[in-house]
Chain A
Amino acid sequence: MTMTAHQETIDQADQPLLRVRGLSKHYGMITGCRDVSFEMRPGEVLGIVGESGSGKTTLLNCLSGRLPPSQGRVEFNASRHGLVDIYDLSEPDRRRMQREDWGFVHQNPRDGLRMRVSGGANVAEPLMNLGRRHYGDMRQASLDWLNRVELDLSRIDDKPRTYSGGMQQRVQIARNLIHAPRLVFMDEPTGGLDVSVQARLLDLMRELVRDLGLAAILVTHDMAVARLMADRLMVMKSGAVVETGLTDQVLDDPQHPYTQLLVSSVLQI
């Protein structure tokens, strides 16, 4: 009995968290992304970089179950189902898996937050979605998380529209981490923020991701963000992955001409 349980945990750890094979998405004649394959381990942060229109967001949407791909498989090691193709799951199962195992941080916090309810309720909502029904506990949990993302706790009952952009983004991050997801998708999480707020937010995210041992997929066009956050990089151009490797390796020794161009175009101060 204990042997099998032990064996299972080993299998679980041995399996990839996410396995993508031959993923393509076409919008009619237009290619969103084509023939993308990769694997991810638990605790790994994968950066997807590339210029605007290179298919980063299409790929992220396909991976996160929001956009069925034209071809290929997206297999996720779900806590309830094991390693399954997310598009083979029934809709209620997939929605439950998205609620329980995933987080999604949007570029624009207005897309990821409920603007009509308070910041505290926004942070506590994932807990209620998972069936928690004790107000005091949830209140404490959201206070703890707002504290972790360094938000002024006296603002907990204010509506997100009264927050600054950086505060909104931090609330969104707290909301997506409170239920201890296994994988977090981030679509340009620091996109609309000024540089000083960006730096603090990046610092915070790096800390949280490391502390919690989270796996994350980070889409960005900002090389500095990729360097700071990601363990591994995938460089995309015209819907295809042109180069993959460890972040430092890709950025310090780019092989593909496009990656070389990308790295050399980063502005220096």
Chain B
Amino acid sequence: MNAQSNDAALTATSNSPERYYTYGYLDEQTKRMIRRAILKAVAIPGYQVPFGSREMPVPYGWGTGGIQLTAAIIGPDDVYKCIDQGADDTTNAVSIRRFFAKVADVATTEDTAEATIIQSRHRIPEHPLKDGQIMVFQVPQPEPLRGLEPREMETRAMHAYEEYGLQYVSLYENVSAFGRIAATAGYPVMVDERYLMSPSPIPKFDNPKLHNSQALMLFGAGREKRIYAIPPHTTVRSLDFEDYPFETQKWEESCALCAADDSYLDEVVLDDQGQRMFVCSDSHYCSDRRAQGLRGPMAGHELVDIDKDAGQ
């Protein structure tokens, strides 16, 4: 309610030219430069476009790439959602959401379906994305080959000439060490069967959501100064071996709060006696299911209730 009335107050002044010059924090020239990079990235799916990354009011590693992308595409009509590890209520997510509520006068939400721009580092929301939505990812290391090939000149040549054999060396190492492809986050993908891409550190559980997505996916790495994109309805294939096909994570447990068995679960240690619970990493998805009356084994537990009281 409060947020709504604040928005109305700000919108009244937001039509003045002074307000618009640095609308969304960045100056117009910077936003223009970033938009050009975005257009190029969308035109060449998976290709890392260099851009002149700016200083942001947060340190590198806190989402400067994602913030710049959002600042360049956001408008007063947008509804903004920001998640960190799938949760809407963690410090970084709350701060960035407040930042855009302040500098761009936008409505914010925790509802995935309602949002037009969703900024994230670690997750793609469980609720299927639809046409017209934009995912913005904060990427720490955009170069999937970096761990194996430290020379930038060499990795650029490898992308240019489509020499991606090296990436399989890391999968080989995985299989020889663990008997399966054990990599879980930032799992490399081929975009449109052309460019090898690191999908930010999302769990490989979310990789299938990249494939033929209805939403536009934008990736921004502020420190590394790269922007790349997956346009809607683009083929995205996770790399694998013929005899070790790609698999996503699976849990024997279901969510302790909402009983979901199809979502990405976080393990939470409850005490030093070995008690633990598994809970949806996507906080909105979980609360939505609870609002529908779905209850997991620990719903209504005293620990959960304490948490709830603190939240209110």
Contact = CB atoms under 8 A, between A and B. Distances in A.
Consensus secondary structure, chain B interface? helix
Contacts of B243: 134-136
A186 B251 CA distance: 52
Interface residues of B, number: 21
Contacts of A139: 176
A134 B241 contact: yes
A57 interface: no
A268 B171 CA distance: 51
Contacts of A136: 243
What bracket does the count of chain A residues touching chain B fall in? Answer: 20 to 34
B163 A121 contact: no
Interface in A120-175: 120-121, 124-125, 128-131, 133-136, 138-139, 156-157
B166 interface: yes
B150 to A, nearest CB: 9
Interface string A54-72: 0000000000000000000
Contact of A135 (B147, B161, B172): B172
Interface in B221-276: 241-244
A125 B161 contact: no
Contacts of A133: 168, 241-242
B173 A118 contact: yes
A157 B176 contact: yes
A135 B241 contact: yes
A92 interface: yes
B311 interface: no
A267 B160 CA distance: 51
Interface in B162-186: 163, 165-166, 168-173, 175-177
A121 B173 contact: yes
A218 B272 CA distance: 64
Consensus secondary structure, chain A interface? helix
Contacts, number: 61
Contacts of A91: 157, 161
B58 interface: no
Contact of A128 (B161, B165, B176): B165
B169 to A, nearest CB: 5
Contacts of A156: 176
Given A121-B176, A133-B241, A139-B176, A95 B157 contact: yes
B294 interface: no
A116 interface: yes
A135 B166 contact: no
B271 to A, nearest CB: 38
A135 B165 contact: no
A91 B161 CA distance: 9
Interface of A: 91-92, 95-96, 99, 114, 116-118, 120-121, 124-125, 128-131, 133-136, 138-139, 156-157
Interface of B: 147-148, 157, 160-161, 163, 165-166, 168-173, 175-177, 241-244
